[in-house]
């Protein structure tokens, strides 16, 4: 094959909205709560037949966890270990620098749930052919509800008209009513050289500083001091919102970033996880638990901390996380 198809897995996130299940020592993508598998492992398996090389961009705190998953799935991979998180523009730049210029990269987060695999494979193949023509492809998910937890892509066919931040409830409903807004999945596909050219044009500093860091890396480990020089910005802001080479693949596979307990609840429920007659669910333990006078309550059990929340308050868990962070709490580790 002239150019490889490389699956690049981004594993940086902490999952602050899934505390106390998700901790710094065990972020959400490594929790084996999905039929005994982790989201990370499912990501590796889902793409194994679509790509002939795998890269993992992780960080110094969790790369040993990624290593365990890759061993379990017996997958050979190139390991890129960031010394400090510098957001997605840098993470993606490292993967592109580590590739041959003509390699096609499929970038996916490690903590998303995807179903309807036939539709997924079609979307990936569509994206690969656009990437071979020199486009940077983003995956827009056809929305199933007015979700406020996701960014949106306004589109016409495969053209991107605009990228939109996470909306409030009213705006989200408006987007859905218009019918040409897609959820921004945070997945991308492009030729390594094309992405680097665009990054160099729009964010020369991110390009130059990331290049220096990559070139001085030792067996995939990146230097801390040089890394701190890289501006911390997202790939959306750095390239997607500016480049003229963007296409979107409107995709009908089912997708969730499992960014909140509400989405974990919905997913587990769809897979037969028990709830009582008032919609209450226990996550994290098998002890008999009775809910009295409560509806749609989620009880999250861990050895050192429990969380009891109304499903509707899922987005506020990050505030608890921030509060514990201010206190420098052991409970985040």
pLDDT-derived band at 130 (thresholds 50, 70, 90) equals very high
Which residue intervals of 73-191 are DSSP H helices?
87-97, 117-132, 169-178
CB atoms within 10 A of CB 272: 7
pLDDT-derived band at 24 (thresholds 50, 70, 90) equals confident
pLDDT digits (tens, 9 = 90+) for 80-116: 999 988 999 999 999 999 999 999 999 999 989 998 8
Report how many helices (DSSP H) and strands (DSSP E) the chain contains, helices first. Answer: 11, 14
pLDDT-derived band at 199 (thresholds 50, 70, 90) equals very high
pLDDT digits (tens, 9 = 90+) for 214-251: 999 999 999 999 999 999 999 999 999 999 999 999 99
Residue whose pair of structure tokens reads 């690969």 in the numeric block: 128
CB atoms within 10 A of CB 166: 14
Q: What is the pLDDT of residue 262?
A: 92
Report the alpha-carbon distance of residue 130 to residue 133 in Å, rounded: 5
Domains, the chain, in order of start with CATH, read: 5-256 (3.90.550.10), 261-314 (no CATH)
pLDDT surpasses 80 at 2: no
> Percentage of the chain surpassing pLDDT 90?
75
The dihedrals phi and psi of 236, each to the nearest 5 degrees, come to -60, -50
pLDDT digits (tens, 9 = 90+) for 170-182: 999 999 999 999 9
Which residue from 126, 124, 85 is spatially nearest to 107, judged by alpha carbons?
124
Mean pLDDT of the 190-204 span: 97
Which residue from 107, 119, 109 is spatially nearest to 254, judged by alpha carbons?
119
Q: What is the pLDDT of residue 152?
A: 95
Mean pLDDT of the 270-296 span: 93
User: 7-21, 93-107, 132-146, 304-318 — which is least confidently predicted?
Assistant: 7-21
pLDDT surpasses 50 at 125: yes
Q: What is the pLDDT of residue 1?
A: 47
User: 64-68, 92-96, 127-131 — which is least confidently predicted?
Assistant: 64-68
pLDDT surpasses 60 at 60: yes
Report the alpha-carbon distance of residue 5 to residue 17 in Å, rounded: 33
Contact 240, 138 (CB under 8 A): yes
Q: What is the pLDDT of residue 33?
A: 80
Most confident of 8-17, 55-64, 88-97, 266-275: 88-97
The pLDDT mean for the chain works out to 92
Cα-Cα end-to-end distance for the chain: 45
pTM beyond cutoff 0.85: yes
């Amino acid at each position: 094959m002239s150019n490889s198809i490389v699956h690049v897995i981004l594993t940086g996130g902490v999952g602050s909205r899934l505390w106390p299940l998700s901790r710094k020592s065990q972020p959400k993508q490594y929790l084996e709560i999905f039929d005994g598998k982790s989201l990370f492992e499912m990501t590796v398996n889902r793409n194994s037949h679509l790509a002939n090389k795998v890269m993992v961009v992780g960080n110094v705190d969790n790369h040993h966890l990624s290593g365990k998953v890759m061993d379990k799935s017996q997958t050979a991979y190139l390991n890129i270990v960031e010394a400090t998180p510098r957001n997605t523009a840098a993470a993606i730049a490292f993967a592109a620098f580590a590739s041959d210029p003509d390699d096609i990269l499929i970038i996916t987060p490690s903590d998303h749930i995807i179903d309807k695999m036939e539709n997924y494979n079609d979307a990936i193949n569509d994206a690969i052919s656009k990437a071979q023509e020199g486009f940077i492809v983003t995956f827009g998910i056809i929305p199933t509800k007015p979700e406020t937890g996701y960014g949106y892509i306004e589109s016409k066919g495969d053209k991107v008209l605009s990228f939109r931040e996470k909306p409030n409830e009213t705006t989200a409903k408006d987007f859905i009513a218009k019918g040409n807004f897609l959820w921004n999945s945070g997945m991308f596909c492009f030729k390594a050289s094309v992405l680097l050219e665009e990054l160099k044009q729009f964010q020369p500093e991110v390009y130059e500083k990331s290049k220096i860091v990559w070139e001085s890396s030792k067996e995939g480990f990146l230097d801390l001091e040089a890394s701190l020089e890289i501006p911390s910005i997202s790939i959306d802001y750095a390239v997607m919102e500016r480049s003229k080479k963007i296409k979107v693949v409107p995709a009908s596979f089912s997708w969730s970033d499992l960014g909140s307990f509400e989405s974990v609840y919905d997913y587990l429920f769809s897979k037969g996880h028990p709830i009582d007659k008032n919609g209450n669910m226990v996550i994290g333990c098998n002890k008999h638990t009775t809910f009295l006078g409560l509806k749609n309550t989620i009880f999250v059990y861990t050895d050192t901390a429990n969380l009891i929340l109304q499903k509707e308050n899922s987005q506020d868990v990050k505030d608890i996380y921030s509060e514990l962070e201010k206190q420098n709490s052991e409970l985040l580790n």
